[in-house]
Amino acid sequence: MARIGLFFGSNTGKTRKVAKMIKKRFDDDTLADPLNVNRTSAADFAGYSHLILGTPTLGEGLLPGLSADCENESWEEFLPQIEGLDFTGKTVAIFGLGDQVGYADEFLDAMGELHEFFSERGATMVGEWPTTGYEFTHSEAVVDGKFVGLALDLDNQSNLTEERLGAWLRQIAPAFELPL
């Protein structure tokens, strides 16, 4: 089994695409294949000591799930399944996708929601990201002036995705013992 689990929630497939971009950089012993949270169990998820998690923010700041008009279950339905788990001793990094132009008042709010969920359950959170280079009015994913994870906007800044992803992976490498 790989040392690091890579899980995502998605609606349009963009978050899955980024998860695949991450996976391409690592071998199978280091990083598991990306897996949609609607295709895993709480036990499989909890089996990893290191987790990289991805989510888009949908509509007015929602996690992907049925109430956000997704076709399939996602983070909204999976989080209650792991609500009672203790993540103390686990390291978690989050990447989020959002639209800073169309949804400037709730840019990456779902990433903030995931961060809060895992923080409250004892996880060591890594991978904060600067807010410079983005134009938005409000985000629940900003704590102490930084995003709680990698902020990606494939709608308006797709040309920066590879560069941002590479820099973020280098940043979290020590906490994840990544061979970069």
pLDDT at residue 11 in the model = 86
Q: What is the pTM of this model?
A: 0.97
- pLDDT given at position 178: 82
Task: List phi, psi (to 5°) of 173.
Answer: -50, -45
Contact 143, 134 (CB under 8 A): no
pLDDT, tens digit, 9 for 90 and up, residues 104-114: 999 999 999 99
Q: Would the pLDDT of 179 be above 80?
A: no
180: in domain? no
On whether residue 178 sits in a domain, the answer given is no
Give the pLDDT mean for 23-47: 95
- Residue 110 in any domain: the answer is yes
Question: Does residue 179 lie within any of the structural domains?
Answer: no
CATH of the domain at 168: 3.40.50.360
Residue 70 lies inside a defined structural domain of this protein: yes
Average pLDDT over residues 15-32: 95
Long-range CB contact pairs, 164-168, < 8 A, 24+: 164/129, 165/18, 165/21, 165/22, 165/95, 168/93, 168/95, 168/127, 168/129
Dihedrals φ, ψ of 171, to 5°?
Answer: -65, -40
Q: Residue 140 belongs to what domain range? A: 2-173
Query: What backbone phi and psi angles, to 5 degrees, belong to 163?
Result: -65, -45
Domain total in the chain: 1
Residue 166 counted as domain residue:
yes
Burial of 6 (0-12, 13-18, 19+ CB in 10 A): buried
* Mean pLDDT to the nearest integer, 28-35: 94
